[in-house]
Amino acid sequence: MTSVSWLWFLFISSATGLTAFWLGKRNQKGSGPAKVDNRRRFPRVRPFSNQPILVQIIGEDFIERLRAKDISEGGVSVQVAHLFQGCKVEAEVDLIVTLPGHRPFQTKAEIRHTKKEESAQGTFGVKFLELKETQRDAISTFVDLLIEKGRLD
């Protein structure tokens, strides 16, 4: 039996153009879209370990150089090897993001959540606040490429 993968999108036309909303992947039994986390507006992808997304987070009391756990047009998730000294939820930070094969770009972001994991590591969820169109396009192209390669998170 061959495996078929489908992506589901909803297209809405408005005065500003055509907008596509990602609804999910077809589930394994083929009976429609897989269950989607409705809090997310954009699909997230996991980078390959040999092609990391590098992220520098510059906050009021800290600077972190990290690798992204996942990324979307809405934000990025990064793992840290320590607890979150100096990091406040809803704090605005500066980011420098380097996608594989692209020049770094700088943008404003907001820490949306921190999550302590079983080990001493933790995760930052960071929301992009001021992406330029060229930055959003670069992320969108990167995400689409990784979706095609099965890296949807």
The answer as to whether 65 is a domain residue is: yes
Mean pLDDT of the region 18-46: 54
Asked whether 130 and 151 are in contact (CB, 8 A), the reply is no
Give the side-chain half-sphere CA count within 13 A for 50. 0
Per residue in 84-130, pLDDT (tens digit) is 666 778 889 999 999 999 999 999 999 998 777 666 577 889 999 99
The number of folded domains in the chain is 2
Same domain, 83 and 30: no
Per residue in 45-66, pLDDT (tens digit) is 999 999 999 999 998 888 889 9
Task: Examine the pLDDT at 82 and tell me if it is beyond 50.
Answer: yes
The more confidently predicted of residues 107 and 83 is 107
Same domain, 67 and 125: yes
Task: Examine the pLDDT at 36 and tell me if it is beyond 70.
Answer: no
Give the model's pLDDT for residue 129.
97
What is the C-alpha separation between 116 and 144, in angstroms, rounded? 30
Task: Examine the pLDDT at 11 and tell me if it is beyond 80.
Answer: no
Same domain, 31 and 60: no
What is the C-alpha separation between 122 and 83, in angstroms, rounded? 6
Give the model's pLDDT for residue 35.
41
- Structural domain of 19: 7-36
Same domain, 32 and 86: no
Give the model's pLDDT for residue 48.
96
